[in-house]
Structure 1
């Protein structure tokens, strides 16, 4: 089934050229199907690029998905046209009385700032608190995962001696969990961050399980048994050239940056990057939508109650 997205969203043309099945609002309303309602809280500065990356993955599913877009009212984005925000985005105040099957909270390039110093931290805390009763399953990405682990459980982040930058091999710790159904024994994920969360802090919280990690990149996937929240520290959604764009930008600005690991053939930035993570990314998002959203969410979203009272397909909320 297709992904239903707003008419005239810039991502539509890109996705259609890639044979991602999209559906405009008019056609979607003609089908007698209750689509999954997904909220995308987009904290990235390049919002249009992030929209396209995530819609590409959400659209590769047999489920019909309806996506709403939210941005923080307490921060004025500088890299996205105001007209785009007005046309396609809403604020928390505008959506807080709705309920959603799922929500994605993206990363943001602010991981070296203390959480409390982030301009929109208070608003983000309100949104994360709201998600407990109004969203069936929430997927947090990179800084969004660090922020949620800190907010919900007080788990700190730590500065890294150098940026975790590249495409790294990962393994699955709990193969029986449906999030990683169909994954290879070793799979690759892009990372681009200056901070990390640590296994020893997560292991102190009995409500959390570490589902996947990397010898080089550390903890990758964590699940919250009580609230059905998932925390993903990497960027499976990245396009083939996203790391190249970040690398070229930092080089041009004279910033200290290593060549992204396991990305260019022979570590040569003059060559075309090798994509190693696309199949795992598609599996991750389709498994989340199917097993952690669709299989558990109530048909009538108005019956959605505090998520600690609900259980996912794996049992015990995981």
Structure 2
């Protein structure tokens, strides 16, 4: 939340120069406050786990958030009970005439498919196009980020020789970005994907900035300069055991997966992983809600 200080306080210029958001009494008195309307387009098969992860990081601020959960009408979920979808989810048709302050588009385990081969790609493309007019700021995660970069800017994805899985360090390249306020030089985040997008392709669009990148994991965070479109290739929202559960699932399926990098102590799957990225995930989403949504979106 912003720091409310007198306009002429000497510390004001210093704080503003450091990117700290400060507010005068005049502006504070004129502010109207209402709940932020956030839509979550949940493409993950384990919808209930993803709901919990995202709501946990969204709850890291004092802002009141009103969440609408969406699922694809053109795809039948095999892993989520129909009763759950009926009780808690809407489809795009239900909200197409509405406006949202923010939206989160999750990933999906379909990275190896060409975008046009995904059974719900026509609906996905329609939603991505709609979001540019009906949503003030949208976060796209993992496959959702790749899909949006491809749809909006023609950025291709590339299949990796083996799955990128683990917890990685990412260098903050744009510390002045409101998304990265309060971050140290290194941002820790889990990655879990079979495909990659290249920094050079993103920067060649001339419309998207790379904000954080890892030596071993590539681009983590990118955004348009106006912060209306945010792209996260990894999973700052993951729980402690999410990578482990994915590893066990792949192993049981006979996929012979590599151990998630930098995850198990001494690479021993019998030991509990340390949760080293939660603070970064909470801060990233708090910055998004505050600086990209709350402080910028019109009251109406």
- CA–CA separation in structure 1 for the residues paired with 2:33 and 2:174: 34
The TM-score with structure 2 as length reference comes to 0.88
What do the CA deviations read for 1:3-23 (whole angstroms, capped 9, x no partner)? xxxxxxxxxxxxxxxxxxxxx
- State how 1:19-30 maps to structure 2 within 5 Å: none
Tell me whether 1:49 sits opposite 2:71 in the alignment: no
- CA–CA separation in structure 2 for the residues paired with 1:132 and 1:272: 41
- State how 1:81-92 maps to structure 2 within 5 Å: 81-92=81-92
Number of residues of Structure 1 aligned to a counterpart in Structure 2: 270
What do the CA deviations read for 1:240-264 (whole angstroms, capped 9, x no partner)? 0001101111111211211111111
Aligned to 1:65: 65
Q: CA offset at residue 48 of structure 1?
A: 0.4
Aligned to 1:157: 157
Tell me whether 1:188 sits opposite 2:188 in the alignment: yes
Contact 1:157 1:197 in 2 (8 A): yes
Aligned to 1:264: 264
Contact 1:36 1:101 in 2 (8 A): yes
What do the CA deviations read for 1:98-157 (whole angstroms, capped 9, x no partner)? 100000000000000000000110001110111111100000000000000000001000
- CA–CA separation in structure 2 for the residues paired with 1:187 and 1:122: 35
Q: CA offset at residue 205 of structure 1?
A: 0.9
Q: Any unmatched runs of 5+ in structure 2?
A: 2-31
Q: For 2:147, what is the secondary structure of its paired residue?
A: helix
Tell me whether 1:242 sits opposite 2:242 in the alignment: yes
Q: For the pair shown, which has the larger CA radius of gyration, 1 or 2?
A: 2
Q: CA offset at residue 203 of structure 1?
A: 1.7
Contact 2:227 2:292 in 1 (8 A): no
Aligned to 2:135: 135
Aligned to 1:29: none
Q: CA offset at residue 33 of structure 1?
A: 5.1
Q: For 1:169, what is the secondary structure of its paired residue?
A: strand
Q: CA offset at residue 202 of structure 1?
A: 1.1
Q: CA offset at residue 42 of structure 1?
A: 0.2
| Superposition CA RMSD, Å | 1.3
Task: Assess, with a 3 A threshold, how the Cα gap between structure 1 residues 221 and 227 changes in structure 2: closer, same or farther.
Answer: closer
Contact 2:155 2:201 in 1 (8 A): yes
Aligned to 2:285: 285
What do the CA deviations read for 1:34-90 (whole angstroms, capped 9, x no partner)? 100000000000000000000001011110000000001000111000000001000
- CA–CA separation in structure 2 for the residues paired with 1:186 and 1:204: 25
Aligned to 1:11: none
- CA–CA separation in structure 1 for the residues paired with 2:165 and 2:242: 11
Q: Any unmatched runs of 5+ in structure 1?
A: 2-31, 301-318
Q: For 2:194, what is the secondary structure of its paired residue?
A: strand
